Amino acid sequence: MIKLGGDRDSQTICAVSTPPGHGGISVIRASGALATSVIHRCVQNYPSQPESHKAYFGQFRNPTTQEEIDQVVVLYFAEGKSFTGEETVEISCHGSPVVCEQILKILIDQGLCPAQPGEFTYRAFMNNRLDLVQAESVLSLIESRSQKSSQIALRQLEGALSEEIESIEGDMTWCLAHIEAGIDFATEGLEITTQVELVSKLKSCLDRLQTLLSTYQKGKTIKEGVQVALIGRPNVGKSSLLNLLLGYDRAIVTAQAGTTRDVVEADIVFEGIRFVFQDTAGLRGQNETQDEIEKIGIRRTQEVAQKADLVLFCLDLVQGWGPDDESWLKNLKPQNMVFVANKTDQVNKDFDRNAFVKNLQIQTGYPNSTVLFVSALDKRCRQSLLDTVKKLCALDTQGEQVLLSHARHYENILKAKVFTEQGIEALENQVGPEFISIELKEALVALQETLGKRFDDQIMDRVFKEFCIGK
31-55 residue pLDDT tens: 999 999 999 999 988 999 999 999 9
Q: How far is CA 416 from CA 128, 281, 358, in A?
A: 24, 43, 47
Residue of 160, 162, 158, 164 whose CA lies nearest to 133: 162
Mean pLDDT taken over the chain = 87
Which residue(s) pair with 127 in the sheet? none
Please report the pLDDT score of residue 190 as a whole number: 46
Give the whole-angstrom CA distance, residue 427 versus residue 439: 10
Residue 98 phi, psi dihedral angles, 5° rounding: -65, -45
Range of the domain at 280: 221-393
Strand ranges (E), 168-309: 226-232, 264-270, 273-279
Same domain, 299 and 442: no
Please report the pLDDT score of residue 408 as a whole number: 94
Residue 460 lies in a domain: no
Residue 185 lies in a domain: yes
Q: Could you tell me if 28 and 90 are in contact, meaning their C-beta atoms sit under 8 angstroms apart?
A: yes
Give the whole-angstrom CA distance, residue 348 versus residue 343: 11
Q: Edge-to-edge strands of the sheet including 13-16?
A: 54-61, 68-77, 88-95, 23-31, 13-16, 113-114
Is 60's pLDDT higher than 80?
Answer: yes
Same domain, 74 and 177: no
Give the three-state DSSP class for 358.
helix
Same domain, 257 and 290: yes
Please report the pLDDT score of residue 397 as a whole number: 63
Please report the pLDDT score of residue 291 as a whole number: 60
Give the whole-angstrom CA distance, residue 57 versus residue 77: 15
Q: Could you tell me if 257 and 282 are in contact, meaning their C-beta atoms sit under 8 angstroms apart?
A: yes
Question: Out of 287-301, 328-342, 404-418, which region has the weakest mean confidence (pLDDT)?
Answer: 287-301
Give the whole-angstrom CA distance, residue 134 versus residue 137: 5
Q: Which of 99, 131, 163 is the last residue of a domain?
A: 131
Give the whole-angstrom CA distance, residue 161 versus residue 354: 46
- Which class for 238: exposed (0-12), middle (13-18), buried (19 or more C-beta within 10 A)? buried
Give the whole-angstrom CA distance, residue 427 versus residue 195: 7
Here the CATH number for the domain that contains residue 387 is 3.40.50.300
Same domain, 238 and 387: yes
Question: Out of 109-113, 127-131, 362-366, 451-455, which region has the weakest mean confidence (pLDDT)?
Answer: 362-366
CB atoms within 10 A of CB 191: 10
Same domain, 126 and 185: no
Please report the pLDDT score of residue 402 as a whole number: 87
Residue type, 227: Q
Same domain, 71 and 155: no
Highest mean pLDDT among 11-25, 177-191, 293-307, 456-470 belongs to 11-25
Same domain, 79 and 188: no
Give the whole-angstrom CA distance, residue 46 versus residue 54: 11
Same domain, 275 and 372: yes
Here the CATH number for the domain that contains residue 50 is 3.30.1360.120
Give the whole-angstrom CA distance, residue 308 versus residue 276: 10
Element (H, E) at 353: helix 353-364
Highest mean pLDDT among 6-10, 284-288, 316-320 belongs to 316-320
Percent pLDDT > 90 in the chain is: 52
Same domain, 261 and 380: yes
Here the CATH number for the domain that contains residue 173 is 1.20.120.430
Give the three-state DSSP class for 277.
strand
Measured in residues, the chain has a length of: 471
Please report the pLDDT score of residue 77 as a whole number: 97
Q: Could you tell me if 278 and 246 are in contact, meaning their C-beta atoms sit under 8 angstroms apart?
A: no
Same domain, 66 and 160: no
Residue 470 lies in a domain: no
Contacting residues for 302 by C-beta, under 8 A, at least 6 apart: 331, 332
Please report the pLDDT score of residue 411 as a whole number: 96
Residue of 279, 281, 243 whose CA lies nearest to 261: 281
What is the reported pTM?
0.83
pLDDT tens-place string over residues 281-294: 766 655 555 566 66
Residue 119 lies in a domain: yes
Residue 350 lies in a domain: yes
Instruction: State the Cα angle at 450 between 446 and 452, rounded to 5°.
Output: 110
Is 5's pLDDT higher than 70?
Answer: no
* Confidence class for position 100, pLDDT limits 50, 70, 90: very high
Which residue(s) pair with 313 in the sheet? 231, 339
Residue 467 lies in a domain: no
* Average pLDDT of the residues in 14-43: 95
Contacting residues for 436 by C-beta, under 8 A, at least 6 apart: 179, 423, 426, 427
Give the whole-angstrom CA distance, residue 262 versus residue 379: 25
Residue 271 lies in a domain: yes
pLDDT tens-place string over residues 199-235: 999 999 999 999 999 999 999 999 999 999 998 888 8
Same domain, 241 and 374: yes
Residue 457 lies in a domain: no
Give the three-state DSSP class for 456.
coil
* Confidence class for position 74, pLDDT limits 50, 70, 90: very high
Domain count, the chain: 3
Same domain, 75 and 21: yes
Largest CA distance in the chain: 89
Q: Could you tell me if 256 and 294 are in contact, meaning their C-beta atoms sit under 8 angstroms apart?
A: no
pLDDT tens-place string over residues 142-194: 989 899 999 999 999 999 999 999 999 999 999 998 888 766 555 554 456 78
Give the three-state DSSP class for 223.
helix
